[in-house]
Amino acid sequence: MSQHSIVIPTKDKLFNLDPLTKPTIGNIITWIILAVGLVVTVMRFGLGIGAVANLDDNWPWGLWIGFDLLCGVCLAAGGYFTTVACYVMGMKHFHSAVRPAVTTAFLGYAFVVVALLYDLGHPWRLPYMFFFPGTTSVLFEVGLCVATYVTVLFIEFSVAPMEWLSGKFPWLLKYRKIVIRATILLTIFGVTLSTLHQSSLGSLYLIAPEKLHPLWYSPFMPMFFFVSSMAAGASMVIFEGMFAHKGVHNYMDETHLREADGVVLSFAKAASFILFAYFMIKLIDMLVQANIPYLFTGYGAWWLVEMLGFILLPALLYAKGSRDGNVTLCRIASVNAVAGIVLNRFNVSMIAFNYQLPPSDGYFPSIGEICISVFVVTLIVTAYRFIVYHMPVLYEHPDFKGEEH
Amino acid sequence: MNRRKFLTILGSAGVASSLGTTLTATKAEAGAHVFPNYDESYGVLHDTTRCIGCRRCEEGCNKANDLPKPDKPFSDLSVTSQRRRTSADAWTVVNKYVVDGKPVFRKLQCFHCNDPACASACFAKCFSKLPNGVVTYEGSQCVGCRYCMIACPFYVPGFEYDEALDPLVQKCTFCEHRLVEGKLPGCVEACPMDALTFGRRSDLIRIARARINENPGKYVNYIYGEEDAGGTAWMVLAPAKDGKGSPLPQNPIDAGHTLEQMDLNTHLGNRPMGELTYGALGAVPMIVAFWPVLFGGAYAITKRREAMAKQAQDAVVKEAHEDVVAAVDAAVRKLEETEGPGAAERARRAMTEALKAREAEAAHAKHGEDS
């Protein structure tokens, strides 16, 4: 609770690895997952995709795209959402939420790229898209924007490691200063790139109207993906905050703790509005496409479950929570909203995809695919913990306290 | 329902098509001998009323392209009852469909679209539509993302999932290596029933139309691939529902009923699939150009608002300060009148010190708030 329990690495003791190496239950589970993941990784790259995945010719994209890429990118939207709220809109009371959000966004995107390498047949050829640019491809736009945005996020995030290492390498201070002066530029660049690739993930499916169920297919899929990414960004800040308060509470300084509840309530209010808007545009789209008859089918029931239980319900919970100042309710709503985003991406990429194929040609991810997805999430959590134990993310570094930026 | 009705998003297709594609480039380079719809390019007409499901075409394809031998020999005709699709090892397959109670055989392979979805979707430009009608695939620059397989409306490309180091997408090549030698594609050459007709696309359409007209009641009045998905080089003729009963060519709704039973999707529309993404892609330069202005403007408004708030606050503080100074001055003057100049001087000094102390305190508190 109090600030003195924060271990701030010094010039002579740069590393604080004890919390990662102590044999606690959490750490042991982490080691097991990482070990299993490494074995599956060797199988994937040694024997081919077919050796670990249930993917086939009808299902070229499965869990790795549906979860690791679509959900990974969407759930890392907290980065642009928080930086825009704080720096562009001037909501300075969110300042303590910026670094954790940028950190998780950077890790999210970096590991999206890592996960993508598992899915690509020729991972080392990923840069080929720059040599043979297929400019008519939505995927080209996604690739270009994600590559650029990972770089932007890396620069935004780099302030934290530079503050950590500046005691030992004082020349880093010069670069830190440049980055901090470029904050607003990076923020606007970041939101532009995010708008583009968040929406483009929805555009990916525009080319396949015959494969995606009409209740999910829409020419406005880019819009749906972008709007839901905003809700995901706000929700993930609350969602991750919940776990951070459980796991790394003693790395938070007074400012962070004082502002935390306010951040939750404000973000809940924003998420509520965005989810309502998202609900309305999806509803109106269904009406103008004359899709009402589909509502009376099995897929229609499933669509209603998504719309009512995972978009409207979290919107209402957020509204009630933020109105009553009920942080717990807002956190419950964030779990609901995040689950809803994941459900939507699963629906578009897997559940409502190939809806005309007979059930015998269905797809369910293999144990190997699930292992890799869990492995990647665990890598993100472990990297996050390493960063929090070493760098000023949840607290302000005493050397840089009180600086305006 | 025709999904193409909902094509436009932000209606910027013009911007997107100016981005430059393999296809437009090929068209431009090909110059005079390629007309719209690839009329002069090659294609194949598959007349399903002639097809007997003998799988010779499959065998011919297998031999012509040195593909691995299948587990069951090509003489085993029972496999046609299964719902098979093309794969990395089998670039063409013949399936039996039950159409209104009667068996109909249809050969599946790459349709070699005029404006292929795979080429539009590929982000490493592996696919090209050539002036001779062939849709080629260049494996040496394939990243293996398999977006082409998502994009293909006909479920054609297959992927070598079990290949660890060099897994590639595989599909029918139109036997391009044979075409350049002046030979027919392997499957066409192998067909004993003349169910596959090779020729220029415009000729094939004329032939198909003639067969429909000369044999009333034999065919549905629809050449699948003439316009579907923007038109394809390989086209299909389907049998009419009730052979002798209807002397007139059937209307397209009947055709749709028959074609659907043969797993031919009649909801693809008559524009290339890739065009569905052009609206979204066309919005990209707009967002790149306008978002910085929008958010830069929001930032400027925020800054201005902060500056105005600070100004207003400073004015209030200054006024309050002046009030205090005036009151103190009045009080001290009164002291001077009643108690003499010495007392007034002491009072003035005490006041000044107290004010300074308060200011310092306020400055400290403000600093703490900001940090």
Cβ contact (<8 Å) for A50 and B88? Answer: no
Predicted pLDDT of residue B1? 42
Instruction: State which of B282, B300, B317 marks the end of a domain.
Output: B282
| Set of chain B residues whose Cβ sits within 8 Å of the Cβ of A205 | 150
pTM for the whole thing?
0.88
**Three-class SS of chain B:** CCHHHHCCCCCCHHHHHCCCCHHHHHHHHHHHHCCHHHCCCEEEEEECCCCCCCCHHHHHHHHHCCCCCCCCCCCCHHHHHCCCCCCCCCCCEEEEEEECCEEEEEEECCCCECCCHHHHHCCCCCEEECCCCCEEECHHHCCCCCHHHHHCCCCCCEECCCCCCCCCEECCCCCHHHHCCCCCCHHHHHCCCCCEEEEEHHHHHHHHHHHHHHCCCCEEEEEECCCHHHCECEEEEEECCCCCCCCCCCCHHHHHHHHHHCCCCCCCCCCCHHHHHHHHHHHHHHHHHHHHHHHHHHHHHHHHHHHHHHHHHHHHHHHHHHHHHHHHHHHHHHHHHHHCHHHHHHHHHHHHHHHHHHHHHHHHHHHHHHC
Predicted pLDDT of residue B297? 95
Q: Which of A138, A189, A195 to mutate to test the interface with B (most CBs of B within 10 A)?
A: A138
User: What are the pLDDT digits (tens) for A302-325?
Assistant: 999 999 999 999 999 999 999 999
Predicted pLDDT of residue B17? 43
Q: Note whether ipTM > 0.90 here.
A: yes
Predicted pLDDT of residue B361? 85
Does B371 score more than 70 pLDDT? Answer: no
Q: What is the mean pLDDT of residues A191-205?
A: 95
User: What are the pLDDT digits (tens) for B328-347?
Assistant: 888 888 888 888 888 888 88
Q: Please, what is the average pLDDT of chain A?
A: 93
Predicted pLDDT of residue A202? 95
Cβ contact (<8 Å) for A189 and B292? Answer: yes
User: What are the pLDDT digits (tens) for A245-303?
Assistant: 888 888 888 888 888 899 999 999 999 999 999 999 999 999 999 999 999 999 999 99
Q: Which of A206, A254, A284, A363 to mutate to test the interface with B (most CBs of B within 10 A)?
A: A206
B43 & B89 share domain: yes
| Set of chain A residues whose Cβ sits within 8 Å of the Cβ of B88 | 57
Cβ contact (<8 Å) for A196 and B117? Answer: no
Cβ contact (<8 Å) for B370 and A203? Answer: no
Instruction: State which of B250, B282, B314 marks the end of a domain.
Output: B282
B140 & B271 share domain: yes
User: What are the pLDDT digits (tens) for B291-303?
Assistant: 999 999 999 999 9
> What distance in Å separates the CA atoms of residue A219 and residue A209, rounded to the nearest whole number?
9
Predicted pLDDT of residue A347? 97
B115–chain A nearest CA distance, Å = 12
Cβ contact (<8 Å) for A135 and B121? Answer: no
Q: Which of A54, A136, A149, A400 to mutate to test the interface with B (most CBs of B within 10 A)?
A: A136
User: What are the pLDDT digits (tens) for B60-111?
Assistant: 999 999 999 998 899 999 999 999 999 999 999 999 999 988 999 999 999 9
B250 & B265 share domain: yes
Predicted pLDDT of residue A362? 92
| Set of chain B residues whose Cβ sits within 8 Å of the Cβ of A191 | 291, 295
B258 & B134 share domain: yes
B272 & B158 share domain: yes
Cβ contact (<8 Å) for B164 and A122? Answer: no
- pLDDT band of residue B25 (cuts 50, 70, 90) is very low
Pairing relationship of beta strands B93-99 and B102-108 according to DSSP bridges: antiparallel
Cβ contact (<8 Å) for A134 and B370? Answer: no
B339 & B275 share domain: no
CA-nearest residue to A195 within chain B is B287
Range in A397-401, B33-37, B364-368 with the lowest mean pLDDT = B33-37
Percent of chain B topping pLDDT 90: 65
B106 & B172 share domain: yes
A220–chain B nearest CA distance, Å = 7
B39 & B170 share domain: yes
Q: Please, what is the average pLDDT of chain B?
A: 86
Predicted pLDDT of residue B237? 95
User: What are the pLDDT digits (tens) for B230-261?
Assistant: 999 999 999 987 655 455 555 666 788 889 99
B230 & B298 share domain: no
B15 & B52 share domain: yes
What is the b/e burial string over A110-145, where b = at least 16 CB atoms within 10 angstroms of the residue's CB?
Answer: bbbbbbbebbbbbbebbebbeebbbbbbbbbbbbbb
Cβ contact (<8 Å) for A207 and B125? Answer: no
Q: What is the mean pLDDT of residues A113-118?
A: 94
Does B29 score more than 80 pLDDT? Answer: no
Predicted pLDDT of residue B243? 56
Predicted pLDDT of residue B33? 46
CATH code of the domain containing B162: 3.30.70.20
Helix (H) or strand (E) holding A342: helix A327-346
CB-defined contacts A:B, below 8 A = 210
Does A404 score more than 70 pLDDT? Answer: no
Please give the residue range of the domain that contains residue B213: 3-282
Instruction: State which of B282, B302, B330 marks the end of a domain.
Output: B282
Range in A154-158, A380-384, B17-21 with the lowest mean pLDDT = B17-21
Cβ contact (<8 Å) for A57 and B158? Answer: yes
Q: B71 or B29, which is more confident?
A: B71
Cβ contact (<8 Å) for A192 and B287? Answer: yes
Cβ contact (<8 Å) for A133 and B123? Answer: yes
B18 & B69 share domain: yes
| Set of chain A residues whose Cβ sits within 8 Å of the Cβ of B288 | 192, 196
B51 & B153 share domain: yes
* Nearest CB to A402 within list B22, B86, B371: B371
Most confident of A165-169, A170-174, B110-114, B336-340: B110-114
Does B23 score more than 90 pLDDT? Answer: no
Q: B361 or A322, which is more confident?
A: A322
Number of domains in chain B: 2
